Structure 1
Amino acid sequence: MKNIKIKVSHKLLAIYILVTAIPILLVGAYLNYSTREIVLKNVRNEVETSVDKMEMSLHNIFDRVTNTSDLIYLNEELKTILSTDYNEIIDIYNTYNQYTIFKEMIKHYDEIENIQFFMNKNMITDSYFIHADNVIRNNDWYKEAVSKRGKISWVYMEEQWTKRNYLALTRAVYGNTNELLGVLAIYIAPDSLQSVIEGESYNTFITLDKKLIIHHENRQYIGYEPSFQSILESSKEDSFLIDTVYNEEEVTLNIHEMVPDKSLDNTIQITTIIPTEEIMQEPNKVFQQGLVIISFVLIVSVLLIGIFIRSFSSRIQQLRQTMFQVAKGNFQIKTKVKGTDEISQVFEDLETTSKSVQKIIDEVYIHKIKEETWKRKQKEIDFKMLASQINPHFLYNTLEMIRMKALINKDPEVAKIIKILSKMMRSALERTDKPVSIKEEIQLIEHYLEIQKLRFGDQIEYRLNVEESVCSYRIYPLLIQPIVENAIIHGLEQKEEPGYIIVSMIEEDRQIVIEVKDNGIGMSKETLQEVNQKINDVDYQSNGNRIGLHNVQQRLRLLYGEEYYIHIESIQGLGTTMTINIPKNTM
């Protein structure tokens, strides 16, 4: 992928946008967001305080009604009235008129709309004492009160005579012998609930058990399930805020839940709907005005920075053209850059530099050529010295004489060994630092392995897996044989059981893969790391007279390039695999 070239003018504009324009916009957005959060926080705090007051007022109402129910529940006179058998109807009326507790409670407590007692006993009914017939007993509120056996329940029920619905406390009352006397119902006055939410700035609902609206300024909502019932039921907290949509507007619901005193199953929720969009109208208006001012400032600053960048870019372009001429070899600078700033100083430095470049370029070039020539000759000398260590001329003649004597003495095995060794010596004598046929290199490896086979007998087996197409290519000499020798010396000689070595050569798309594999003693991870470190160290000097892996590694990189090297894989106790890749070469 080509490097993308960006002009300095574009960079300056980008820096301005990143350092100035974007921060200004971000600060504006942050201030708007902060203002929004502050306004919402203040409104929420205000609502929270108001809801706390409403909750306290509701507690007072419920406590007053609960205390009233306690007085009636424990009243012995009521139990006497309901337990007595009357002979005349007039006696019942007189008893009702003498029992004034219900009237007094309603008179003194504004929170109480009415009190009714649904008698289990079949007596005459009046405004306060009502016989609980089968219809009444089948009502859910009646069954619930009886099932709770004297415990308080809060229900939304219909008043017996006016047929209006009220929030009411219901409670079963029992006689001294634990017989059911009836169910007490104390109705809360709607005006007392209205006084709780009166004067509130925001839409407020009072719900019972998260399921039923028991009071709201708009009476058409009372007695129905709230549209936000799912939110109420999903919450497990007593007090929380949640952002949602109500009547197609974004709002925040402030929900408080309270438990009336002595109530085991019922809860009351106060839900205030805060209209977020309505509250944010004024802050949004201020933000829009600020945005207009910021936009104007940015436009003016962009125009000014544009003028500066245009002038700056023109001078930079002139300097660049001059440097391009110098880069092409034209060191005669005739133009001048206007100004006295850093750009003009750079132009003067360029003029001074161009004069001195011409003077030293020849010296550097000639020195480089001499250095490369010296390195090449040094490598050739090293190679010839290595080859001479294992290939003295007189050794071939001596070996041939020994082979003839072995034949005369009728020792064919020794003669065979000498013959193979002689072929190796002859091949070595003919080697230069030029590439040779891979076929010749394979023959050299095979001669070497035959000698090792004669030496170790059944302890060593070998196999050459060479693709026929590989033999047509050429390779620099003495690259494979040292690897094979290393595998035998360090891998198989120290192995007690019989071992094998496999030499494979295959042709790939652009290179030849040569692999030498043995099942010798292998190496540990630490030893393998140490070997890799040594063979890759240019200054490392190996001990002994053999051409070791270090020399092969350095020759591979010298002859073929840095991307060609020995790759070693080894597992201790299982063996070692050494792989080299060389480019295809038919010359």
Structure 2
Amino acid sequence: MKKFNKSNNLVSRFTHKFFLTIVIPIIVLWGSYLFILNLHFINNTLSIQQTHLLNSLSTLKLSMANADYVFSSLENIPEITYYLDIYSLKSKMLYSLKKTIRSQCNSLRNSNISIDSLRIYSSKPELLYADPFYPLSDLPLNENEEEQLITSIPTDTLWYIVSTSPNSIFHLYAYKKLYAYNYEHVIGYMELGIRPEVLTSYFSQFENNTLLPNAHFAVYQDNQLLYSRSDAALLPSPEQITSLPDNTVTTDYLSGKYIHKATIPDLNLQIVLTGRLIDLPSQSNNLLPVINVLITCPLFFLLFYFFLDTRDLSRQIMDFSNYIRNSDPADLTLYQVTSQKYRQQYDELLHLICSYNDLFKENSTLISKVQKMEFLNQDAMYQALQAQIHPHFIYGTLENIRMLALQNRDKMVADMIYSLSALIRESVSISTKYVTLEDELNLAQHYLKIQKHRFGNRLNYSFQIEESLYSLKLPSFILQPILENSIIYGVSNTFHDCTLSVSAFPEKELTYIVISNTGKTISPERLAEVNNLLNGNGQLSEFQSKHNGCALYNIKERLNILYRKQARIFMTLEENSTQTTIVVRKESIYVPNINR
């Protein structure tokens, strides 16, 4: 007997499926929800920071706008124009410088906290060079930058950056041409220096960013790192920054990094803020722990409830299974259901137990019938052995009568006795459930010889059999009852000559055996009743009560048993004859021809 595997019982399988179909999907869906929620929070945080970064550019733009204001104010101070273009005496220059120009320049510088220095460069040789006036040779620009300043239009403000190292704040300078009143010629070049504190204050809000902890701040210009206090290995390359779109945030979930980029076209600066997504603060929601508890607790409660329920069902199934396994096959009893042992009853299991008890009752009945049949079979075997004594006595008696008829020169009686003896001998000698068509034809010939002596010239018979069909298997005694019916209902009820014919022929996969008689034909009503019975649509009891005969029904049943319902028998009414047809499938067993 197969050993019971506890790891494959109902409880373990249900628990396994419960986790696979309920617990794990809910956890996966809940985790997916939290993941999507976190992605949304990350994108929202980065979007807010990008907006803040772009809005913060207004600080630098305000400083740049102040530079334009200072340039415009310097252009409107007439003493500066006189100093550079009209005065030729240094005494007048000195007086104007000390009396007006310096005080006005200091006033402009003090009124704009973003301005650190103010200078005016000139190429006039006789000019008194003193702060804020400097010779053009002191202009801190290279040749290309100086050429760009000289060729600029009057309204252009040019910005230049001076950086000593990437780890220190760079210096920002603005330059603009200074024209005479009528804009006929350039009288000088103005320079404004932006206070480093402005850039330091602006950069510190990103270097000490609480919204994006562990973020790295950097400033790039012309594909070069201009300023950053972070390690260069942690920063994106200048080429990567150049390839990114302006004023956007780029998120790379594969590498787990983000990059903010803001551009100042006038300065050709790219302000970058980068970091790892994992360092972003997670969403602070006090409801998440509560939601987790509300989801987890019912899950475990359901799991515990279903565990108890299935454990009770498993116990009932195991008790029933152990009862069947441990029962003695020779002493089976009904299974009694004890409802007090279990939490509840299950209709499916009760149905299974009731089916087992019903099967046990039917099995007990069948065992009783089998025992009774064994007893009857033993009795039948005894009767069969007893009956074997009688045929020898009958054969001897018939042979004595035949010899007596021959002594009296009565050959007809002797032939009848011989046919009767042969008919009885062959019928008694048949012990198998089927015979060949050749055996059936021999019995039919002996029977018809006897009937020929009875009816004389009124009865004629013939056989048309293909020799290949002699080995066809048939139930025993199927032709003789049909021929007997033909004699009783056809020949006996008429004074005209009658012909009985037996023919057998193959057609495709079937073999046809046709018995025809030209005696009195069957009535259409009787024909319908017989065929209705043979087709299985009528009741044998009703058929017997009316006509007291069931030979054809018996033949039909034996044909169905032998050929597994692949045979049939029916009657037809022709113009001058009644035909009985048997249809079976061909047999391939070869039987030698007999000497007829």
Q: Which has the larger radius of gyration?
A: 2
> TM-score, normalized by length of structure 2?
0.44
State the TM-score, normalizing by the size of structure 1.
Answer: 0.44
